[in-house]
């Protein structure tokens, strides 16, 4: 029988369920009922990239009356993961600018006289310094609000940015988070060290934006 308020495709979805640390199934909704599924049990459908806790899946919350729960403490990204990801991202952004400027300078050597070349090279060097910070901002906002929820550095370290429920943030929240990093820097980087002194391992800019950095929980 179809549950009122749900379409047939939702109730026909097959779920892989983690039991005693091992994936089993797939199971139908009725079979999940017989297994007395709980909000914190891990499930996965063919359309999911990774396992989720049952309360994170809207259909299961509606079917079983689960309440939405915040991200568990053990899943927060560590300071060293975040710092390493940041270094990787700076290398990526700087690398793009340096490569682009190298190409431009080569072209200028071919078309401009020597004196003009020196002035232009100086201008390009200054531009690299000036534009790197806004470029890093745009890069972070686009990537953190995107499907992967993190920059290439974060993806490499298997961490991602999310809201308190582990969900993807939108571009406005990603912008607010990254602009708030100026506060973490303005406090002589004490805002970053706050990661060590709160259970959610939030830096000051995470607290301001109400975001979290979490790590992957299970390999899909």
pLDDT band at 1 (very low <50, low <70, confident <90, very high): very low
Same domain for 129 and 165? yes
Least confident of 54-58, 153-157, 169-173: 54-58
Alpha-carbon span 64 to 34, nearest angstrom: 12
Same domain for 35 and 83? no
Buried b (16+ CB within 10 A) or exposed e, 154-193: bbebebbbbbeebebbeeebbbbbbebbeebeeeeeebbe
Alpha-carbon span 95 to 87, nearest angstrom: 12
Residue 3 pLDDT: 47
Residue 125 pLDDT: 72
Interval 180-205: pLDDT, tens: 999 999 999 999 999 999 989 999 99
Instruction: Please determine, for residue 7, whether its predicted confidence score (pLDDT) is greater than 60.
Output: no
pLDDT band at 38 (very low <50, low <70, confident <90, very high): confident
Same domain for 27 and 134? no
Give the H/E segment covering residue 213: strand 212-215
Burial of 144 (0-12, 13-18, 19+ CB in 10 A): buried
pTM above 0.75, yes or no: no
With CA atoms as reference, report the closest residue to 155 among 217, 204, 215: 215
Write out the residue range of the structural domain in which residue 107 sits: 79-215
Long-range residue pairs from 180-186, CB within 8 A, at least 24 positions apart, any chain: 180/204, 180/205, 180/208, 180/209, 181/205, 183/208
Same domain for 59 and 106? no
Helices vs strands, H then E, count in the chain: 10, 6
Same domain for 106 and 27? no
Same domain for 54 and 147? no
Average pLDDT over residues 85-105: 87
Q: Is residue 3 part of a domain?
A: no
Say if residues 183 and 209 touch (Cβ distance below 8 Å).
no
Q: How many domains does the structure of the chain reveal?
A: 2
Cis peptide, bond prior to residue 26, ω within 30 of zero:
yes
Q: Is residue 23 part of a domain?
A: yes
Same domain for 59 and 101? no
Instruction: Please determine, for residue 163, whether its predicted confidence score (pLDDT) is greater than 80.
Output: yes
pLDDT band at 98 (very low <50, low <70, confident <90, very high): confident
Residue 186 pLDDT: 95
Same domain for 33 and 103? no
The better pLDDT of the pair 82, 49 is held by 82
Same domain for 171 and 121? yes
Same domain for 56 and 83? no
Backbone angles phi, psi at 19, to 5 degrees: -120, 120
Average pLDDT over residues 7-16: 68
pLDDT band at 220 (very low <50, low <70, confident <90, very high): very low
């Amino acid at each position: 029988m179809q549950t009122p308020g749900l379409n047939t495709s939702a109730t026909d979805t097959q779920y892989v369920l983690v039991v005693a640390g091992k994936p089993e199934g797939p199971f139908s909704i009725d079979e999940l009922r017989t297994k007395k599924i709980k909000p914190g049990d891990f499930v996965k459908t063919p359309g999911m990239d990774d396992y989720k806790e049952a309360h994170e899946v809207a259909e299961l919350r509606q079917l079983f009356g689960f309440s939405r729960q915040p991200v568990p403490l053990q899943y927060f990204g560590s300071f060293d993961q975040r710092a390493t990801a940041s270094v990787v991202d700076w290398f990526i952004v700087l690398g793009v600018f340096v490569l682009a400027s190298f190409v431009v300078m080569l072209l200028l050597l071919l078309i401009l006289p020597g004196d003009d070349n020196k002035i232009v090279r100086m201008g390009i060097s200054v531009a690299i310094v000036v534009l790197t910070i806004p470029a890093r901002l745009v890069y972070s906002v686009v990537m953190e609000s995107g499907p992967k929820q993190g920059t290439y550095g974060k993806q490499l370290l298997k961490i991602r940015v999310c809201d308190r429920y582990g969900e993807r943030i939108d571009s406005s929240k990603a912008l607010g988070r990254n602009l708030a990093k100026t506060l973490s820097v303005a406090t002589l980087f004490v805002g970053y060290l706050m990661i060590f002194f709160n259970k959610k391992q939030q830096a000051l800019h995470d607290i301001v934006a109400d975001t979290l950095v979490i790590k992957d929980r299970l390999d899909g």
